[in-house]
Amino acid sequence: MSYELSSQDDTRIDVPALLSAIVRKLPRILLVTLGLLSLAFLIIVARVVRGPTLPDRVVGLDMLVTVGIGFIAAFGVKTGFFLYLDVAIALGLVGFLATVALARYILRRGLKNDAAAMEAQS
């Protein structure tokens, strides 16, 4: 059995045609993306408001930052102004620092004043 390379390369991808197909479908993709992000935003706001414990709210706020980053990235792609992606990266860093600060606050303060957490521990 001999393995020879064929002189004709059948594995080429027509990159311009692929990119034009993606650009044609981009408005629909962005519409679906923004719809899903809006739905996630509403669900997360309900989780933050409902609680029941402070750590649940902290995780919800962290998810809100993540959804905000998604909105900023989608808006940057839609407008073609990719400086928004730098803003999204900065928001991610600030969100991470806020989550760490709130986690330290919870560790130092404990869950003394959180009635739902005390009830769950009992």
pLDDT the model gives residue 109: 80
pLDDT the model gives residue 121: 60
pLDDT the model gives residue 97: 95
pLDDT tens for each residue of 25-40: 878 888 899 999 999 9
On the CB side of 27, CA atoms within 13 Å amount to 1
Supply the DSSP string of the chain, one letter for each residue: ------SS------HHHHHHHHHHHHHHHHHHHHHHHHHHHHHHHHHHHH-SSHHHHHHHHHHHHHHHHHHHHHHHHHHT-THHHHHHHHHHHHHHHHHHHHHHHHHHHTTTT-HHHHHHH-
pLDDT the model gives residue 112: 65
Mean pLDDT of 81-92: 91
Euclidean distance between the first and the last CA atom of the chain, given in angstroms as a whole number: 73
Residue 117 pLDDT grade (very low, low, confident, very high; cuts 50, 70, 90) = low
Is residue 95 over pLDDT 70? yes
Residue 42 pLDDT grade (very low, low, confident, very high; cuts 50, 70, 90) = very high
